[in-house]
Structures are given as structure tokens and as C-alpha cells.
Amino acid sequence: MKAALQNYHVRMQRVLDHIDRNLDDDLDLDTLASVAAYSKFHFHRQFSAIFGLSVLRYIQLSRMKRASYRLAYRDDQSVTEIAMDAGYEAPDAFARAFRQRFGQSPSSFQKSPDWALWLSAFEPLDNARSKIMQRTFTIDDVTIRDVHTTRVAIMEHRGDPASLGATIQRFIAWRKASGLPPKTSPTFNVWRSERRPASPADYSVDLCVGTDQPIDANDKQIKLGEIPGGRCAVLRVVGNTDNLEPAALYLYRDWLPASGEEARDFPIYCQRLSFFPEVPEHATVAELFLPLK
């Protein structure tokens, strides 16, 4: 029974990966059913039963998520280009659908996103993905690595995680203005609190970029710091890197007690090696580092 269920999940995972890779293509039901190796009739029903939404809505939400990321975090595409990439033949049709989903026009979202509405709109998509895309980890997934100390420029986010998107926007803008793109300057997140603390106001994370260049002392939004070198337990996560909490919990709750190791006095952190929407979501990569004594 367990093997049959695992096979079932593998087939559905293939479908989700195919959708991610081919968002710009015509994702018709016949093709997706073929990817899953099910009949079209059964595939449609099974997809809805497993994920809690139809395959059409799943595709629409996936395209809208990519479009919203491009609007919020990138400045190299016009609204018209983003609308076309989202599968709309005309910008006004995209604008109507976008407003219906997020309560804002694309241009308004681009200037000042309502992140609380954005999070709410994608809850069905995130719930659907977590049912299949949530990984389980084993001791073989963890390596111990000696890392070098890295000087970093830090933008702190303190407060409700629902407003993290606005901090990310400011961080990206600062990096661009400072000539520190992800391709040449590594990106780190250092968690100073739980992902969902009892009070949202207690949420705390540092957005960091590795750099040796001096920072303007008058720039109040950035401070200099370092990620200390030393031994670290490293867990590589591929896909669904929006939520790294399961991987962090595995390191702290399962791997650390079984390893006989002892954690160092520095928070768990991650290095983000690839980013959505530059790569499909299932291809995003992050490495979690648990500093050890």
C-alpha cells in the first residue's frame, strides 16, 4: 500500500514539475494526463481530489504567482510582456484577472504591493504544493562542511512576516544600486526567530549579501556584519524553497540529537543559490547551515 501511494505521489510530482517547466506553453489536459500516465477523465478528478483545486486553477495561480514576482521584484519587463507570459492575449484581460485576484491593478501592485492580500490569494496554491512537494529528510542528506567567514551587508526585517515582501523589494533595489547582483555576490538569510512566532511582531530575519566593499555610513537601512566561519551541518533543499521550516526542523529536532554534535551560538541560516522566477519553482535551490562547535 505504501509503495503504491509513493508511486502515486511520484506521478503527480511529475505533473507539477511539468507545469513549472512549461508555464509559457499550452498546458492542455491531455498532455498533463499523459505525463501522469492516467486517463484524462481520472487524472482531472484525481488532481482535484489530491490538491483541493482543479488543474486549470492550479495553472492560473502558478502563472499569476510568477507574474506577481516579476512585477514586484524585477524591472526588466513591461506589464504587457508580463501579461503575455502569463497566458493573456491582451493587457486589459490580464489587468482584470489580476485585480480580481489581488485587489490591485498590475501597475499599482508594481509600485506598492498589498502583501497581505497577496499571501491570501496564493494560500490555495501553497496548500496544494505542500501536500506533495513537502520533502522528508534523512541523515544521508546532511553533510558537515568547513565554511569560511563571510563579510555581509545586512538589511534587517523585524515585524510581521506578511510585510517581508516589502523588505525584500528594498533589499533588491539596494543591491542593484550597489552593484551586488546575486550572480556575483552570494545571498544569505539569517533567521533570528521562528518562522511563525507566537506574536507576528516578534518575527526577525536578516537579508544579507556577501561583500567586501565599504558601505555608506549614512545608509541607515544597511549595516555591516559577518557570517562566521567554522564547521556547519549543511542540508541542501531543491524546490519549494519559500518554506524552509521543515528542513530547519529536521536539522534541529532530528539530525542534531542523533549526530552527537552540539550547535554553536549562531542562528541557522541559508544561502540561496537560485531564485524564482529566474528558474522554475521546482528548480530553486537553497542550502541550510546549522553552525556546529
Quick: pLDDT tens for 101-124: 889 999 999 989 999 899 899 988
CB 288 within 8 A of CB 247: yes
- Verdict on whether the full-model pTM lies above 0.85: yes
Looking at residue 87, its pLDDT comes to 83
The x, y and z cell numbers of residue 68, run together, are: 506577481
Strand order across the beta sheet in which 223-227 lies: 142-147, 230-238, 285-291, 269-272, 187-191, 204-210, 150-158, 223-227
User: Smallest Cα–Cα separation from 109: which of 100, 119, 99?
Assistant: 99
CB 144 within 8 A of CB 232: yes
User: How many angstroms separate the CA atoms of 92 and 104, rounded?
Assistant: 13
Looking at residue 96, its pLDDT comes to 93
Looking at residue 3, its pLDDT comes to 61
Looking at residue 76, its pLDDT comes to 80
User: How many angstroms separate the CA atoms of 103 and 118, rounded?
Assistant: 9
Looking at residue 2, its pLDDT comes to 55
Q: Kindly give the parts of the chain with pLDDT less than 50.
A: none
